[in-house]
Amino acid sequence: MSFKHTFEQTSLREYDIRGIVGKSLHVEDAFAIGRTFASIVLKNGGKTVVIGFDGRVSSPSLEEALVNGAVASGADVIRVGRGPTPMLYFASVTLKADGAIMVTGSHNPANYNGFKMMLASKPFFGEQIKHLGHLSHIGDVVPETKGTVKTIDIKKEYIERLLKDYDGGERTLKVVWDNGNSVAGDILPALLDKLPGEHIVLNGEVDGTFPAHHPDPTVAKNLEQIIASVLENKADLGIAFDGDADRIGLVDNKGGILWGDQILVLLARDVLKNHPGGTIIADVKASQVLFDEVKKAGGEPLMWRTGHSLIKSKMAETKSPLAGEMSGHIFFADKWYGFDDAIYAAIRVMGIVARMNEPLSAFREALPQTISTPEIRFDCDDLRKFKVIEEVAERLRKDGADVSEIDGVRVNTPDGWWLLRASNTQAVLVARCEGKSDAGLDNLKAALTRQLEMSGLEKPDFSGDNAGH
């Protein structure tokens, strides 16, 4: 039977295949991904594909179609069932699979879903995803045959491995966990049963409609419930997850939010004790404070492009023991496998806090204070957005500005820094400013606005709350 399938173009993203179920993403797409990705694995000399899915309402039917597609290409499919994305990564690495696919909508609204992939335990992204779309469109797949399917339960092994790296010593903690109705709810009860301390779980039931709040812990509004619970219970810390548990949110004992770069400072100081001089990677949106603190702790800070697949690839290249993004993706290669895992990051954070002689809030309050805008996103045509970055970069170079062009433009001035980059996943430009004072922040906003106006764009809306950082 001949095979050809064309995907909705907007669903082929930089890091995954993603869309609105029933509109830009369908069961037929899942079958086509299984059929084409398994063909790539087989042409690559492989055979085994591990498949898992998250807690969204649409995930089981998409997973079934995905499995059928992979089997039709002759793959030996290992189904690991419902669980967090990091559990699928863990299965891929420990089972030495030739390929892996996770059905997940990540932190997107309930009506979205998608697919994250690994080929030979490495991220499958960018041009590889475009190529998969092309192969499917022209029907360039292996002849239809019949592969095999087996189901394994890897949860127990995954939980045991997570627990192995808890190093909190004698002191026990009181921890509030906001599962956010995420698929981490399949792991947490058994994990917390074996972790020392007192644990309070909010929204523990896996529910793909996310009734409590949106499953994104990088948005302050989504942390209101956990902050209230930490304060009410006089807890030592609060830990929150996104929909597929590969991104972490952290709240200290005073209800203060630790953002992605601050979490990374906490972890970097600990990891660098065993990896002196190690390279610590953060994305271009991270605070200057992070890069300065890594240096102070004896590490080599490296600013890199935003995107979990890009960060993972750079980690492997530089042999970095630790990396992170503002979006809450934390990657450990120290004792772990180099992929982003919010549950593992939580275990390591707990160990550090349990060994501290002071509360977590003291760590946050001791960091140098800056004032920053939230991430500002504004619409810009997909083709035009990259052109704008080129124009701005050219003008800055002519002006002799102190500018990094790793990912868009990040401009350092005596007042602080500002960033403008093109999103890899949407038709938007992303901006951020971080100043050393209110006046400095105003100067940075003005400099950014001037550059946008010179490229024919309107002033962005800076009306969101500035955050102390």
pLDDT digits (tens, 9 = 90+) for 78-110: 999 999 999 999 999 999 999 999 999 999 999
- In three-state secondary structure terms, 114 is strand
Q: Which entry of 58, 73, 106, 327 is annotated as an active-site residue?
A: 106
- Catalogue all structural domains in the chain, each as residue range(s) with its CATH number: 9-153 (3.40.120.10), 157-366 (3.40.120.10), 371-468 (3.30.310.50)
Q: Is the pLDDT of residue 1 over 70?
A: no
Tens-place pLDDT, residues 340-396: 999 999 999 999 999 999 999 999 999 999 999 988 889 998 889 999 999 999 999
Place of tokens 């300065």: 292
**Strand 48-53 and strand 76-82: pairing?**
parallel
Query: Which residues are within 8 A (CB) of 41 and not within 5 positions of it... i.e. 6 or more apart?
Result: 47, 48, 49, 75, 98, 99, 119
Report whether 36 contacts 72 (CB < 8 A): no
Torsion of CA 188, 190, 194, 199, to 10 degrees: 40
- Average pLDDT of the segment spanning 176-202: 98
Phi then psi dihedrals of residue 222, to 5 deg = -75, -10
Report whether 193 contacts 348 (CB < 8 A): no
How confident is residue 463, by pLDDT bands cut at 50, 70 and 90? Answer: confident
How confident is residue 461, by pLDDT bands cut at 50, 70 and 90? Answer: confident
How confident is residue 464, by pLDDT bands cut at 50, 70 and 90? Answer: low
Report whether 295 contacts 254 (CB < 8 A): no
Q: How far apart are CA 135 and CA 4, in angstroms?
A: 8
* Res 382: pLDDT: 83
Q: Is the pLDDT of residue 323 over 70?
A: yes
Query: What is the pTM (predicted TM-score) of this model?
Result: 0.95
What does the mean pLDDT of the chain come to?
A: 95
How confident is residue 466, by pLDDT bands cut at 50, 70 and 90? Answer: low
Q: How many CA atoms lie within 13 A of 44 on its CB side?
A: 18
Report whether 416 contacts 441 (CB < 8 A): yes
24 is catalytic: no
Tens-place pLDDT, residues 103-161: 999 999 999 999 999 999 999 999 999 999 999 999 999 999 999 999 999 999 999 99
